[in-house]
Amino acid sequence: MSDHRYTRNVFERLAVQPESPQFFDELAQLLRAREREATRRWKRTAIVFAVVALAATGAAGVLAASPAAAPNTVDVTVSCPNLTKGGLPVFSIFGEPTGEPPIDGGKIKAAPPGFRPVDGLTVETGDSLYILRLTSLVAGYQLDRRQCAPSKAKLKLGPNGLPKDVTLLIDQNEYGLRCKDVARIGMRLRITNDGYGAPIRAQLLIVRAKSAKPLAYIDWSRQKLTAWAVPGCDRTQ
């Protein structure tokens, strides 16, 4: 008897239970859930745009932290003018917890072709220019040193009397805040990175540069974001 026929005979004697009526529906749901988990970390974008954006970032004098062999902390204070939109200077903050970085072979796994990492915390001025970007999915952070100059202002990290706005956990809605008629901001940023150089926690305080009046404070981590904000700013998310 051939191996093929012997295998078939054995298989036909097996008492295999038929699949349940919900088997294929449950399998499809499981596959969709895994696909969402794999792609949730990344945001689709045109490859050409990504290349152009990186070139523009370099030209703008953006600094990025480098991966380190041990956890490290970055603490910077800068002053930034705001671009105008509709005749008024404006800046926006967006943020969401972005989870743990994908590790592969002892390194953070790069985004798939055609995707870029989802932003964890950003500051944008004039609704057109990012001056700060960070995420837990890659090492380092981006700060536009052409737009923002180092400042000697003494800014205390914390809500500083601001009312609490929201607390968001991972997979909840993105936080968005837009403040108008602020010509220049002072910004203090403190980032704690892991051994791969990816942010674990970021504390961001934004004030009016002239008066040091607090406008917003964000305490961001991989699993949670808590925000405090002046009532005069608008929620956008």
pLDDT 10s per residue in the chain (237 long)?
566 666 666 556 666 566 566 666 666 666 555 555 555 556 544 333 333 333 333 344 444 444 444 679 999 999 999 999 999 999 999 999 999 999 988 899 988 888 889 999 999 999 999 999 999 999 999 999 999 999 999 999 999 999 999 999 998 889 999 999 999 999 999 999 999 999 999 999 999 999 999 999 999 999 999 999 999 999 987
Cβ atoms 236, 170 nearer than 8 A:
no
**Coil/strand/helix, residue 103:** strand
What are the extents of the domains in the chain?
37-235
Between CA 158 and CA 68 the distance in angstroms is 27
Return phi, psi of residue 165, to 5°.
-100, -55
Q: What is the pTM of this model?
A: 0.74
Cβ atoms 62, 134 nearer than 8 A:
no
Q: Which residues contact 129 (CB under 8 A, 6 or more apart)?
A: 83, 144, 147
The pLDDT value given to residue 110: 87
> How many residues comprise the chain?
237
